[in-house]
Amino acid sequence: MCALPLDLTLHGALPEERIRVVETGGCPHAAIREDISINLGPLKELSNLYKADMLLCESGGNNLAANFSRELADYIIYIIDVSGGDKIPRKGGPGITQADLLVINKTDLAPAVGADLAVMEHDALRMRDGGPFVFA
């Protein structure tokens, strides 16, 4: 179960009624490729209810090869966290190399997990060919 909906509601960032959790019956990345039909119902419902300017559709899991199809997303933000170690950016994958923005998250945990942020920065610059990324 993803902790994100609880985190968002617990801290008041987003009302619970504006969050939908979609269970794919398998790996989360299965619902982000060319066939995102399982996500369309909740997206249409939210769009109709709230006349939203923006809808966020989040994948879960640790599959670095997973990425939303470009035809289905206006803007892709790929988030990794330092708990996977400082080698994650250099492993590449479409999310790291092709996303519009790469976010390297949970940087405050770097010392606890032995991740070197300078190494992650160097590798992100190299793998993204100068594309934007941020530490959070």
For 23-67, what is each residue's pLDDT tens digit? Answer: 666 555 555 555 566 777 777 888 888 887 877 766 665 666 666
Shared-domain flag, residues 7 and 70: yes
* Shared domain check, 67 and 8: yes
On whether both 69 and 107 belong to a single domain, the answer is: no
3 and 55 within one domain: yes
Q: Are residues 81 and 22 in the same domain?
A: no
| Per-residue confidence (pLDDT) for residue 19, from 0 to 100 | 76
Give pLDDT, residue 49: 87
Q: 134 has which bridge partners?
A: 103
Does residue 37 share a domain with residue 1? Answer: yes
Q: What kind and span of H or E run contains 120?
A: helix 117-127
Q: Rg for the chain (alpha carbons), in Å?
A: 16
Nearest to 18 by CA among 40, 46, 38, 41: 46
The H or E element containing residue 77 is strand 77-81
Here the tokens at position 53 are: 């300017």
Give the separation between CA 100 and CA 108, rounded to whole angstroms.
24
pLDDT in tens, 74-120: 888 888 889 888 998 998 888 899 889 999 999 999 999 999 999 99
Q: Predicted confidence band at 1 (pLDDT cuts at 50, 70, 90)?
A: very low
- The whole-number pLDDT of residue 3 equals 45
Q: Which residue range(s) make up the domain with 32?
A: 1-74
pLDDT at 76: 84
**Which residues face 81 on adjacent strands?**
105
Mean pLDDT to the nearest integer, 123-135:
94
How buried is 92 (Cβ within 10 angstroms: 0-12 exposed, 13-18 middle, 19+ buried)? middle
Matching residue, tokens 């879960």: 60
Q: pTM, whole model, 2 decimals? A: 0.67
Mean pLDDT across the stretch 1-7?
Answer: 49
Residue at a domain's end among 74, 97, 126: 74
Give the number of residues written for the chain: 136
Query: What integer pLDDT is reported at residue 116 of this predicted model?
Result: 96
Q: How many domains does the chain have?
A: 2
